[in-house]
Amino acid sequence: MRIALIGDTYPPLRTSGAVQLRDLSAEFAKQGHEVTMMVASSELEVPFRIEEWRGVRVVRLKALKTKDIGYVRRTINEFLMPFAMLRNLRRSPLAAEKWDGVAWYSPTIFLGPMVSALKRASACRSYLIIRDIFPEWAADMGLMGRGVPYRVFKAIANYQYLVADVIGVQTPGNRGYFTEWLKGSDRRVEVLQNWLANAPATGCSISIHQTALVGRKIFVYAGNMGVAQGMGILLDLAERLKQRSDIGFLFVGRGSDADRLRAEAKQRALDNLVFFDEIDPDEIPGLYAQCHVGLIALDPRHKTHNIPGKFLSYMQAGLPVLASINPGNDLVEIISTEQVGRVCTDTSAESMAANAVELIESLGTDSGFYDRCERLASRLFSPEVAVKQIVSALQV
């Protein structure tokens, strides 16, 4: 198939979305499809740039900046983004190309107009890969009310749903959100598991042996440190286990809460916790090879279901997880049923600490953790499975 894949993030950006789109586009090409990755790029000085990477045609389309700026400016720029992308695509050699299918990645919620234009011009089907349900999660967490801004974002999100023939959600629990949408004719919602391509451990710029954590069992958190993650409980966990000289905590990443977390850790004199800035995604396997347990935190106010990308990377590396997540999240059952770690839903640092100690002790007696984690990653979270599922939906 000739597939147009659309997103607002792609390497060299280091976000989880960029990594997922990289792995997905490469797998499309690996399976013999002609894939064109169209990505919004604010750094371009020309309308478009066309590259080739591992059989993937990458078309970078100039658009306004939407990352690391204020919320109001970001909203305006994201609203304008699909129109800028379309205008610059029409200036490129691809202007008249037709597609057998269009797939796009959300977040962002603003790509609907571009998808609609490509779908209409090619008379093809479309597939929405949705990884979080915005603005619902923001309203659930109290980051926005349900007034005018919420209704505007809701209308924009609803438009992208209307453009989709099939929506791929992360977990079964998210199907219920689309009950009304499914009343339209010829619509389908299916579970499209997250994915992550296998990557060898090729080294890492972070060496735990050169930190104060040398010799300890390492609990690692690598990824975004923002309000949605609710990482305060991980600081509480580190404080409760401060006297355990055999346990250490490593936080790697960036985000809106990163500076606050660093300052608070310093204020609490947490000498068992070390911070590092974000590293290249290719270094993550080398980082995890030095660690023992992966940490997951989701703000308990979440009501939608979410399987963070870092969970996949932990599983792929054979790292059991210690998770603090919202009650009812489908990830609770996965961790428990697959026996790949310990999970708390009560927001209690005391429970987290007890589970952390229990997990460390289990690592010494249960040699099957690595295999269970690795098998789960291969069975559920491979880009090969994701591509086959998307292609099947676009061919119907």
Find residue 188's DSSP bridge partners. Answer: 166
3-state secondary structure of 44: coil
Q: What is the C-alpha separation between 357 and 344, in angstroms, rounded? A: 13
Q: What is the C-alpha separation between 60 and 70, in angstroms, rounded? A: 23
Report pLDDT for 302: 57
**Tens digits of residue pLDDT in 124-177:** 999 999 988 888 878 877 778 889 999 999 999 999 999 999 999 988 888 888
Report pLDDT for 69: 84
**Tens digits of residue pLDDT in 80-102:** 999 999 999 999 999 999 999 99
Domains defined for the chain, CATH in brackets: 2-195+382-395 (3.40.50.2000), 208-379 (3.40.50.2000)
**Tens digits of residue pLDDT in 363-379:** 989 889 999 999 999 88
**Which residues of the chain register pLDDT less than 70?**
227-229, 302-306
Residue 187 token pair: 């619509």
Report pLDDT for 228: 60
Following DSSP, what letter does each residue of 73-87 receive, concatenated? HHHHHHHHHHHHHHH
Q: Where are the beta strands (DSSP E) in 162-288?
A: 166-169, 188-191, 217-222, 247-252, 273-276
Cα dihedral 54, 199, 310, 127, rounded to 10, equals 30
Other beta carbons within 10 Å of 69: 14
Q: Where are the beta strands (DSSP E) in the chain?
A: 2-7, 34-41, 48-53, 56-62, 101-106, 125-130, 166-169, 188-191, 217-222, 247-252, 273-276, 293-297, 321-324, 341-344
pTM reported for the whole predicted model: 0.81
